[in-house]
Amino acid sequence: MIRILVSVAPIDLAGEMARVERQDVGAVASFCGLVRADDGVDQLELEHYPGATEAALDRIAHEAVERWSLQAATIVHRVGPMRPGERIVLVAAAAPHRRDALDACAYLIDRLKTDAPFWKRETRGDEARWVEARESDTNAAERWTQ
Amino acid sequence: MIRILVSVAPIDLAGEMARVERQDVGAVASFCGLVRADDGVDQLELEHYPGATEAALDRIAHEAVERWSLQAATIVHRVGPMRPGERIVLVAAAAPHRRDALDACAYLIDRLKTDAPFWKRETRGDEARWVEARESDTNAAERWTQ
Amino acid sequence: MTLTILYFAWVRERIGEAEETVTLPSHVVTVADLVAWLSARGGGYSEAMAAPERLRAAIDQNFVGLDAAIGGAREVAIFPPVTGG
Amino acid sequence: MTLTILYFAWVRERIGEAEETVTLPSHVVTVADLVAWLSARGGGYSEAMAAPERLRAAIDQNFVGLDAAIGGAREVAIFPPVTGG
């Protein structure tokens, strides 16, 4: 019921959603983060901490399952180089009722942003830079602990 | 950027998500409601008010677009008879940033539950019954007006 | 005045038809008046309209309260609380 | 005591390697001590460790504050604030 995947392969949205829907679910909420094509980025590269990343994602998914009444929690994160328009991350939560699915989905992505060891590097033309962490992400994650 | 579809055809999740992702989006949040297979229902039938239903969904989508910074808002609702495990509804919101997408997605489904003229009839064996409206749905919709 | 009335879900089932066209008597001003007038026909009508607090309505495809005036509307729909999604 | 140190993102780039194994001197007790000790090597190390408040760490794959004691850990990772998702 918990599925964690960190891979260089493109994210198979339809396949992942089909896995989640395969159970007796009433509600599936999902979130996809994509490489934005509108701010001049030619390539985004995702670095991660092998082992620790998967453990962190597994912990986040288990926290969601403990907190809400879920039938499935999925976190799929791509690593390596990717192009504008491609999917970086997919999280999904399935539940008998929609409020659990919606809240758990928001939790999964908010937590992932601050608690999982990934680092983004953007390339624009000849220039590469590491993306800075944003305070708004810390705030979004912290609202779940209040 | 706003897409409304009410149809007897099965909901094409992958196709709808591809439409939403086609734009310069950074975040897509979606919600799918399915016929639950775990409570003995053999068939669910959805009745709607042709014309008024599409107008109501269009109004809900426009409200979301006014309220959040969105690049796309999609509401696809199936009508007619359907089986356990099939999708009843798909809503999706695309935005540059995730908070807008997540909140708008929750808004679309909460509003749809109370503001769009659909009626569900469940069949279990020989017995058919009209599903009763739930007070929790009214409360969920009202939290957006506070 | 000629008015099309639409029925949905169990209101439709109890009445036995989805749509009809009526000529309203002058004392029928609001949707609640219409509900009372239809209910007085007896049979499936009174059964469908037995609990007006369980009914919802739209005038020309806009949701309204039962106290709304029908005015020059072309279409009134009467139905149970909605259960989509 | 032998310890594997992992570097990620711009910490890795500035140091010029992703991983090394070191024998810690006894005065290196916390991650902050380790950062100071590495920084004293100069060059890419001091560049990478110039602003300890911008660094995050994990001990044996668990996130910790820089004041955490390394104890008998096998692996310490030093990296910038995370930016996934």
Q: Provide the residue-wise pLDDT of chain C in tens; the chain has 85 residues.
A: 799 999 999 999 999 999 999 999 999 999 999 999 999 999 999 999 999 999 999 999 999 999 999 999 999 999 999 999 9
Residue with tokens 């033309």: A125
Residues A97-132: tens digit of each pLDDT:
999 999 999 999 999 999 999 999 999 999 999 999
Better-predicted residue by pLDDT, B139 or A63: A63
Asked if residue D1 has pLDDT above 80, the reply is: no
Specify burial of residue B91 (Cβ count, 10 A radius: 0-12, 13-18, 19+). buried
C22: closest CA among C38, C46, C39? C38
Contact D8/A49, CB-based, under 8 Å?
yes
Listed in sequence order, the residues at least 6 apart from D37 whose beta carbon sits closer than 8 Å to its beta carbon are D24, D25, D28
Asked if residue B23 has pLDDT above 70, the reply is: no
Residue of C61, C77, C81 with shortest CB distance to B133: C81
Stretch B80-106: mean pLDDT: 97
Stretch A5-16: mean pLDDT: 97
- pLDDT value for B37: 77
- pLDDT value for C43: 97
Stretch D53-78: mean pLDDT: 96
Asked if A21 and A28 count as a contact pair (C-beta separation under 8 A), the reply is yes
* Residues A62, A108: Cα–Cα separation, whole Å: 10
- What are the residues facing D64 on neighbouring strands? D57
- pLDDT value for B48: 98
- Domain containing D6 — which CATH number? 3.10.20.30
| Domain membership flag for residue C46 | yes
Better-predicted residue by pLDDT, C80 or B24: C80
Residue of B13, B102, B109 with shortest CB distance to A17: B13
- pLDDT value for A23: 67
Q: What is the dihedral of CA A79, A84, A89, A91, to 10 degrees?
A: -170
Stretch A48-77: mean pLDDT: 98
Q: Which residues of A touch D8 (CB under 8 A)?
A: 47, 49, 117, 119
Binding-face residues of C in 2-31 toward B, CB within 8 A: 6, 8-10, 12
Could you tell me the CA-to-CA distances from B11 to B37, B77, B79, B88 in Å, in that order?
A: 17, 8, 10, 8
Asked if residue D45 has pLDDT above 70, the reply is: yes
The structure tokens listed for D70 are 């390394």
Residue of C6, C9, C63 with shortest CB distance to B119: C9
D11: closest CA among A34, B142, D34? D34
Residue C59 belongs to domain spanning: 2-79
| Domain membership flag for residue C12 | yes
A71 HSE (CA, 13 A, CB side): 19
Asked if residue D44 has pLDDT above 70, the reply is: yes
Phi/psi zone of residue C16: left (φ > 0), alpha (ψ -120 to 50 degrees), beta? left
Task: Give the closest-approach CA distance of B111 to chain A in angstroms.
Answer: 13
Q: What is the pTM of this model?
A: 0.95
| % of chain B surpassing 90 pLDDT | 86
* Residues A103, C34: Cα–Cα separation, whole Å: 43
Inspect the structure and tell me whether chains A and B have 3 or more CB pairs less than 8 Å apart: yes
- pLDDT value for A146: 74
Asked if residue A145 has pLDDT above 90, the reply is: no
Q: Which residues of B touch C54 (CB under 8 A)?
A: none
Interface contacts A/B by beta carbons within 8 Å: 88
C67 HSE (CA, 13 A, CB side): 0
Number of independent structural domains in chain D: 1
DSSP calls for D44-83: HHHHHTS-GGG-EEEETTEEE-TT-B-TT-SEEEEEPPP-
Inspect the structure and tell me whether chains B and C have 3 or more CB pairs less than 8 Å apart: yes
- pLDDT value for A40: 86
Chain B neighbours, 3+ Cβ pairs < 8 A: A, C
CATH of B2-128, one of 3.20.20.80, 1.25.40.340, 3.90.1170.40, 3.40.228.10: 3.90.1170.40
Q: CA of B41: which chain A residue's CA is closest?
A: A24
Q: Model confidence at A22, in pLDDT bands (50, 70, 90)?
A: confident
- pLDDT value for B145: 86
Q: CA of B47: which chain C residue's CA is closest?
A: C9
B99: closest CA among A140, D33, D35, C12? A140
The structure tokens listed for A44 are 């985004």
ipTM for the predicted complex: 0.94
Q: Which of B49, B60, B122 should one mutate to test binding to chain C, selecting the residue with the greatest count of C CBs within 10 A?
A: B49
Q: Which residues of A touch D75 (CB under 8 A)?
A: none
A57 HSE (CA, 13 A, CB side): 26
